[in-house]
Structure 1
Amino acid sequence: MDSSPSRRGGLPHCSSSPAVARGRAQDDEVEIYSTPEIQSWMNSIEKCLSEVTTMVSEGKMNSEQKLRVSSLCLKVGRGVSQMAVQYQSLKHKALQNYATLQTFKENEDLASSLTEIKQKLEENLIKQKQESTSFADMVKGTKTLIRPHATSSVAIYPRDSTKTSEDTKNLVQNIVCPEEMKLKVRGLRKIRNGGVIISTETKDDIQKLKQTVERSTSGLTVDEPRKRKPRIVIIGVPTDMAEIEVFKCIYEQNIVDKLPNLTKDAFLSSIKLSHKSGKRDADSCNFIIEVPASVRRALVNQNRIYINWTSCPVRDFTLVTRCFKCQQYGHASKTCKSITSTCSHCGAEGHTTQECSSKEQPPKCATCKRYNKPHNHKTGDLDCPARKAAEYRYINSVDYEGA
């Protein structure tokens, strides 16, 4: 007769083998019992224990043994009850954890979707910006018709050729008092040949300035500032066409109907090719031409120019020259009077951009830095205040004839 503890009192042995335990531990699915199943399980065990107790009480055992068996059965019952309570608690926690994991997974999927959407939007924005920037860099023009500020200007020069623009500026400021004369001065800037240009809101202010300077004995002369012709850029002109052929097509296909009083000879003598831009060995290039204000208005307003079999976008050309030696606007490096170079990356003087040792640091605008303005942007950036100011000065130096 088997006398092992697992067989005493008719109770079955419930322990699992190590292999079964490992198999359960490795199983990904967790078996979860509902409350009715637990109650059925407990009722079955209590029934078995009750039968054992009855059998023991009817058997030939002494009182001490019977009491011992009954006590053990009670302990088993209490243990099973505790196991059921613990199982219920574990089940509740497991369900909570499962729900939390599901929420995390849904949030993770949502975050992943949002990240993907964000990346696509950023890629599209970068692509649009690159296309816009590359287009702007290519043509250096504006897509809308230029509307210069309606200001009036006067140029003042010294009769003494040894005087500088700074000397002229000081003389003018000693002679003219805007507060007393109630002048609305828009700006005063230096120009070559020792002169200055003063811009005001109205022509009446200009007349007051002229009269005041002419009456003085300061040795200054007053002149109307000479304005330059507008420039436009024609994008995508076929490179196999000669310059004169392009100009004739512009007249015949675009101008003759809009400006019938302008003859072809007068048109050809009034325009001039400033320069060409574009990639070498390309099938097309960009023509930057100087034109009268009336021709510029007619062409830019129609947005495109038809040249033989080609339709070419046309824009106002407002590029301002930036010196790559001193990084200032208004002149090229070949005419720069600065002794030392200025770095376009860090904004420091004394070395070129290629020699800069701070390229890992954020860029600083050399132009704005020189004038102690906010300079946490690239030199020559499209939104650079110095560049915009230079473009504003350029636009107001062009004869748009009221645009």
Structure 2
Amino acid sequence: MEAEIWKGKYEESTRVPRDRIKTTSFADAVKKGKAGEVAKGVESVMNVTLPEQKIIRHKVLITPNDSADTISADEIKDILNNKSKPSIPSLKVYGIRKDRNRGIIAETSSEKDVKCLKECGQLGTNGLRVKESDEFKRQIIIFNVDERWKERDLELDIVNRNFDIDFTKEREDVEIVVAKRKFNCQTKGKVNWIVEISRKYLDQIKDNNRIFIGWEAYKYKRYVNVTRCLKCYGLGHTHLECKSKEIICGHCGESGHIYKDCPKKESSPMCINCKKAGNDFKHSTRDKIAQST
């Protein structure tokens, strides 16, 4: 008790009276030539810009189930818009787009919307199923593959040689591997393949730096398709968002003209992005290798 009384007296004795506290008014600051600093300080406080809140969109993949394998993407859209959506009045969907495997990808505003779609009886009744984004396929790029491989043969060979799969529960042609596209590489007779692999099966080979195809093992790595600007050829934005004041040529890497007007088309190309990154730049900025390196 005595200690508390002593503490109170100490705090009271050390408190500075209000009339002894020195403050600077704006008028005094003007006299001392510091008005600009005061105004600048006030302006900086008033002009504080709060960071924009990033909108998180939750993606789901809607595909036909095993018993309704012939439903097209357009039919899925029709079912979603005319049958499922009215039964979930609170559902918020930013947009829907077609997926390669006759399905559609829907972007929703919350996990609650995802749950509503997964539990929607109308989808199941009409032969559809819903998968969350974690179940989506992931893309890899496989380097220097023999160009004679056909798309379907490549898919089946990758499935059979690289994964431990229970085929009684999976549909190998849709659920595991999808060969997306190929493009030429620097080795004659070889191509690079972009392949989609279901995430849970990609985890089976994540510790390997090679994938088996035929009688060979090929190097591969994760592939991310990056947006490329057609004005400055920079990555991560489109020409509509480009802040560059100059047009860059996709062939020679110089400014002031576009590819079709390039005066150096007969000379070797130069990739401006790879040159900046310190990589081999003796290829066109328009080349897909410039996005994958």
TM-score (normalised: structure 1): 0.29
Larger radius of gyration: 1
Q: Normalized per residue, which structure has more strand?
A: 2
Q: Normalized per residue, which structure has more helix?
A: 1
TM-score (normalised: structure 2): 0.39
